[in-house]
Amino acid sequence: MSAGESVEQLLRQVTPDRHGTFEAYDAYEALLHALASSRLWMLLWNGRAGAPDAQYGNMEVAGYGYAPCVTSAQELAASGWNRAHEVVAGRDIASALFPDRWGIWLNPHAPGGGLGVPWLDLRRIAIGLDLLPAGPLRIGEPTLDIPQFYALLVQNAHHTPAVRSLRRAWVQPATGVPYLAIGLELYDNGPGSVEAARQMMAQSVAAVPEGLPVSSVAMADDHDPVAMWLRRQSRPFFDRDAHAGVPQGVPAPGYGYGYPRAF
């Protein structure tokens, strides 16, 4: 079975409304894995493949941008597209589009209008589907009673000059185990600061109750949905500048987080 056939078979198992059964989420995850290892026929609105003026088509759904594409040469013929196209590896197009918050729309000519894959899922394809939690994510304030962990984390943060602030959230992926996320804001993101923060977290997780997953999130990552939620919806539980009496600046405007309602 070819990668293109795999994508098309999985498309038939995934409905546009992802708020469905566990099996529907499973099929969507399988679709993302297939897209990562397949080729896509990207529809060009201007220019030809490889030309400086080549420009992908674009469409907007529920306020989110998507580049339309088809999943095989057969689907290209069925679409009736009479302009140029470009054949691109799924992981390559994901890497190219997600930083600008563009998703892809698969087979928009198909009955039912095809299926959109939002930029947050393209980010997962580009970085690694097994490395990032499956969305859409349900994110909220933690209600865990774990004062020893928070106390040790704050103590270690005081002794780690690279750390500016800490935030927290409870994250429930679409599939997989919920976990506690710790948002790390550093004064700089150089290798030394990142390593110091990693060591701080490693020293602190000794106080985490057995079986509780904990993950750290870089607050500087403008594309991480958990970091976006933390910036907009939470306050630091450790803030070095506040303790030092440093005036706080106006928060940067949020970019939004989560997925389109249709997903």
Query: Contact at 8 Å (CB) between 44 and 51?
Result: no
**How far from 50 is each of 44, 60, 85, 87, 89, CA to CA, in Å?**
11, 25, 10, 10, 14
Cα 255 to Cα 249: distance, rounded to the nearest angstrom: 18
Average pLDDT over residues 91-102: 96
* Residues 179-210: tens digit of each pLDDT: 999 999 999 999 999 999 999 999 999 999 99
Query: Contact at 8 Å (CB) between 103 and 145?
Result: no
Cα 230 to Cα 71: distance, rounded to the nearest angstrom: 36
Please check the confidence at residue 4 and state whether its pLDDT lies above 90.
Answer: no
* Residues 28-82: tens digit of each pLDDT: 999 999 999 999 999 999 988 888 888 999 999 988 999 999 999 999 999 999 9
CATH number at 3-127? 3.40.1350.90
Q: Bigger pLDDT: 62 or 89?
A: 89
Query: Contact at 8 Å (CB) between 4 and 42?
Result: no
Total-model pTM: 0.83
Return the minimum-mean-pLDDT range out of 32-46, 47-61, 141-155, 231-245.
231-245
Give the chain's mean pLDDT. 87
pLDDT at 243: 65
- The residue ranges of every structural domain in the chain are 3-127, 138-244
Return the minimum-mean-pLDDT range out of 1-10, 35-44, 142-151, 245-254.
245-254
Average pLDDT over residues 229-240: 95
Please check the confidence at residue 153 and state whether its pLDDT lies above 50.
Answer: yes
pLDDT at 25: 81
Instruction: State whether CATH 1.25.10.10 applies to domain 138-244.
Output: no
